[in-house]
Amino acid sequence: MLAGLVGVVSGLVVVPARAEPPAAFVVENGVTQPVHSLADAVRESVWVDIGLDLDTNGVGDRVAVDIIRPDTTERVPVIIDASPYYATSGRGNESERKSYDSAGLPLKFPLYYDNYFVPRGYAVALVDFSGTSRSTGCLDTGGRSEVASGKAVIDWLNNRATAYTAPSGGTSVPATWSTGAAAMIGKSWDGSVTQGVAATGVEGLRTIVPIAAISSWYDWFRADGVSFRGFGTPTSLASGFENTNARARCAAVRQDMTTGAPGNGDYTPMWQQRDYVRNAANVRAAVFSVNGRADLNVKPVNWGQWLAAVPASVPRKLWLSQTGHIDPFDFRRAEWVATLHRWFDRWLLDVQNGIDTEPQVSVERGVNQWTDTATWPPSGTTARTMHPVSGPVAGVGALSVTPGSPATSSFTDNGSGTPTSYISSPTVTSARRVVYSTAPLTADLRVAGISRLTVAATPSTSTAHLSAYLVDYGPATARSATGEGIRTLSTESCWGESRPGDDACYRDTEPTTATVDAQIIARGWADLANHASLTTPRPLTPGTKYTMTFRLSTTDWTVPAGHRLALVIAGNDSSMTTTPGQLPRVTVNLAETTIQIPLQGTPPRATATTADRSPTRIRPDITPGRLDN
């Protein structure tokens, strides 16, 4: 047990009755208690040398760290949120930004972490990414500078790096108040870098809490060879958040990103540097991952491939909501704060509260209806190969566990197809797509993991983009696309202690809902020119058959009994991906096309006929934004 725990009787920490500052933390009923005054908390700023000089000014790049910590003589652990947003778009549903008082000390700490956790014996450190706000150096969109921004702070907390009182010059500042135990938390870009730091294996990082986080930056900008529409490049993304120094001195970094992100969707060494999955075997920190099923900003493939790559020995927890790009504080607030509290107590203070032995997975099955599962992937999940089988209606057939007779089916990409148009009217022929469905399920069927489609396709032109969707056909009430699944209310609730310049109260939210007949549960995109390699595209020869395997997004979805599970294959997704140079007619060889789906349960063995009726109510997709904006 760490310093500050002075005695335990029947699960209660006993603090001596004397007029001294309280112990670093006090535990009652398995959780730390608010024994410190936030008004008396120590506030300070330091600049940590990250060991790089990307702005080439001859001085080591330093990141600004604004710290608030309890007024105690005991050492305390640290909760870190490193971000590019503190001086620009802000954090959270209310876009909070940092502010400073007349003495230059940090005043406003965005989000509730300081209000809630500092009184309970934690320090909170908010780090400006290099090249942003008050930091020096260069912003490199998920690259080594941003990873170093987080890692160097943890090294400083453990006496392995140096902090100073100023961005240049100044005197060194040791972290004598820190236990060295650190957590990193954050949503979107912030959460992405928590995974990059964890993948370094840095000592002292006890846990990370990535929320809607990118695990490979290629998979934010690209998908199996195709570029996402409206997502720009790493260079254009960084340009919105760079400070004056970075804009003046980081041209070489921007050029490297521009060169490394060709518009054709190739996977380059620049993308490899920003792929945290490839080093996930180094992770030692416990992982609490939170994600939205409907997130088309940070696509769900990111969390699935991350958890699959993290060593099985690493403790983990997973929350999956029906929302889009939303923080759990805004879709499940009370449960989230209580769970995060216990999680930090366990991994930063070694409080044996049992959270590490509870079910790992909590999934929102219906609106505000959550189901827990012991492990991820769920026990009994098996990768099942299913086959599209032609039926009596052209372009409409069965999704079967057994292959059908040799057959082909075709569609034409007109450049304007959307997921809604592709999955509508699944009982009739469409010129835009082909659809294959199971019979109505006789029992619930759980899809849990990353599906992979192997498609044998013959294009009529030299360019071809493909889209694929797993669809749950059947009536349901779901979170709607409005507000990415939430609506912000005028009422507030408070979480922790307020102090002048930093209140602990935030506007409440409620779900937005819609009644639907079809829901996309996983989707993927690909450029057929990358059928053999993501690093080197090959020109297509019209009339030649190519076989390509590509990923669909991670999901954990239960298709209820009575519903149908379907596979839809189509051309370009105009809502998400760039249009190919020439729009093709694509012929799918069904006998050589399969989809591997991670299933818990047994799909129907019988060949399906067409669905009983076409869905009329389809949930529209959420329009993705620029990361957390």
Inform me whether the pLDDT recorded for 537 exceeds 50: yes
What is the per-residue pLDDT across 207-217, written as a single tens digit (0 to 9) for each? Answer: 999 999 999 99
DSSP strands (E only) in 252-326: 286-292, 316-321
The domain in which residue 236 lies consists of 8-373
**One domain, residues 353 and 443:** no
Residue among 475, 488, 484, 471 at smallest CA distance from 435: 471
pLDDT confidence of residue 629:
58
Active site residue: 128, 275, 295, 517, which one? 295
pLDDT confidence of residue 20:
58
pLDDT confidence of residue 622:
75
How far apart are alpha carbons 316 and 327 in whole angstroms? 18
**One domain, residues 58 and 38:** yes
Inform me whether the pLDDT recorded for 227 exceeds 90: yes
- CB 619, CB 481: distance < 8 Å: yes
**One domain, residues 431 and 336:** no
Residue 201 maps to a domain = yes
Average pLDDT of the segment spanning 1-5: 37
**What's the per-residue H, E or C state across 500-530?**
CCECCEEEEEEECEEEEEEEEEEEEEEEHHH
The domain total for the chain is 2
Amino acid in the structure at residue 377: P
Residue 493 maps to a domain = no
Q: How does DSSP assign 322-338, residue by residue?
A: SSSS--GGGTSHHHHHH
How far apart are alpha carbons 554 and 598 in whole angstroms? 10
pLDDT confidence of residue 293:
95
Inform me whether the pLDDT recorded for 335 exceeds 70: yes
The answer for residues whose C-beta is within 8 angstroms of residue 560's C-beta and 6 or more apart is: 441, 444, 474, 476
Average pLDDT of the segment spanning 77-82: 98
Could you confirm whether 493 is annotated as catalytic? no
What is the per-residue pLDDT across 395-439, written as a single tens digit (0 to 9) for each? Answer: 999 999 999 999 999 999 999 999 999 999 999 999 999 999 999
What is the per-residue pLDDT across 347-401, written as a single tens digit (0 to 9) for each? Answer: 999 999 999 999 999 999 999 999 999 999 999 999 999 999 999 999 999 999 9
More confident residue, 611 or 198: 198
Average pLDDT of the segment spanning 90-119: 97
Amino acid in the structure at residue 304: G
Average pLDDT of the segment spanning 114-124: 98
pLDDT confidence of residue 532:
95
**One domain, residues 309 and 359:** yes
Average pLDDT of the segment spanning 533-559: 96
How far apart are alpha carbons 8 and 29 in whole angstroms? 12
**One domain, residues 264 and 194:** yes
Inform me whether the pLDDT recorded for 614 exceeds 70: no
CA distances to 45, 188, 278, 303 from 326, rounded to whole Å, are: 29, 9, 26, 15
Mean pLDDT of the chain: 93
- CB 409, CB 430: distance < 8 Å: no
**One domain, residues 327 and 397:** no
What is the number of alpha carbons within 13 Å of residue 365 lying toward its C-beta? 15
How far apart are alpha carbons 558 and 448 in whole angstroms? 8
**One domain, residues 296 and 436:** no
Residue among 119, 8, 599, 47 at smallest CA distance from 352: 8
Residue 82 maps to a domain = yes
pLDDT confidence of residue 11:
37
**What's the per-residue H, E or C state across 375-400?**
CCCCCCCEEEEEEEEECCCCCEEEEE
CATH code for position 457: 2.60.120.260
Inform me whether the pLDDT recorded for 608 exceeds 70: no
Residue 609 maps to a domain = no
How far apart are alpha carbons 326 and 303 in whole angstroms? 15
Inform me whether the pLDDT recorded for 559 exceeds 70: yes
**One domain, residues 281 and 394:** no
CATH code for position 39: 3.40.50.1820
How far apart are alpha carbons 574 and 274 in whole angstroms? 27
Active site residue: 219, 275, 325, 387, which one? 325
Domain boundary among 373, 402, 431: 373
pLDDT confidence of residue 418:
96
Active site residue: 133, 145, 149, 188, which one? 188
What percent of the chain shows pLDDT beyond 90? 90
**One domain, residues 429 and 314:** no
Specify the residue for token string 């006993």: 14
Could you confirm whether 527 is annotated as catalytic? no
pLDDT confidence of residue 1:
37
**One domain, residues 290 and 389:** no
Could you confirm whether 145 is annotated as catalytic? no
How far apart are alpha carbons 444 and 460 in whole angstroms? 40
pLDDT confidence of residue 615:
66
Average pLDDT of the segment spanning 87-111: 97
Burial class of residue 299, CB neighbours in 10 A (0-12, 13-18, 19+): buried
pLDDT confidence of residue 103:
95
Average pLDDT of the segment spanning 174-202: 98
